[in-house]
Amino acid sequence: MSRPLMPKATAVWLVDNTTLSFDQIADFCGLHPLEVKGIADGDVAQGIKGMDPVANGQLMRQEIERCEADPAARLAIIKNALVTPDKKRKGPRYTPVSRRQDRPDAIAWLLRNHPELSDAQVGRLVGTTKPTIQSIRDRTHWNSSNIKPVDPVTLGLCTQIELDEAVRKANTSKERSAEGKATPQILKPVRVSLEEGAAPMPEASEHETPAS
């Protein structure tokens, strides 16, 4: 199923401006219902500004009203509103000068909300270096007192598609690593365990005289 651009920002707007159920919003945005509930409770997507899917041409107002009247209905995205993701870039991301001052805030947000991302992934998303990331992590950055976590998508440093793809790859890598470390023990049959635990029988000496 096609998903809207910036799904979390879209979910924030739908939670704040409609009476759609968590399941309907989650299905449309490609999120988990509990994640949508967290948005409604203020525990998830803090600092993300809601994006109106009607204003940006991804959803019809009539479609929202239809689904509000029927909790079992599901939202249908406007197909021509979709754009194809940009081709993979070669080399580091270029960040406009006007946006570079926002990078520490974006890094702090990623470190807090997506600890599964590697420093290399964070660097590619916002166009920064590993030393800068480390200085923000251990609070030795020269401007640490003024750094406030802000979603890099909201700041325009990366797209929601790029962020979601990086998180997906990080989680996949983490799962593979966990599977590689797992060493499940296979239970042996009772007969084999008893045979291994039994003491070996002494061999008869060649010089022993058979009992009469």
pLDDT for residue 138 is more than 90: yes
Q: How far is CA 171 from the centre of its chain?
A: 6
Half-sphere exposure of 171 (CA within 13 A, CB side): 7
Residue 197 has a pLDDT of 55
Confidence bin at 44 (pLDDT 50/70/90): confident
Residue 85 has a pLDDT of 46
**Which residues are CB-contacts of 10 (< 8 A; sequence separation ≥ 6)?**
4, 28, 29, 50, 51, 53, 58
pLDDT in tens, 76-132: 888 654 444 444 554 455 555 445 688 999 999 999 999 999 999 999 998 889 999
Instruction: Give the predicted TM-score (pTM) of the model.
Output: 0.45
What is the amino acid identity at position 187? L
Nearest alpha carbon to residue 157 among 132, 129, 122: 122
Give the Cα separation of 119 and 117 in Å (integer): 7
Residue 174 has a pLDDT of 80
pLDDT for residue 192 is more than 50: yes
List the single range of 103-117, 147-161, 194-208 with lowest mean pLDDT.
194-208
Question: What residue ranges do the domains of the chain occupy?
Answer: 7-81, 97-180
Give the Cα separation of 154 and 171 in Å (integer): 23
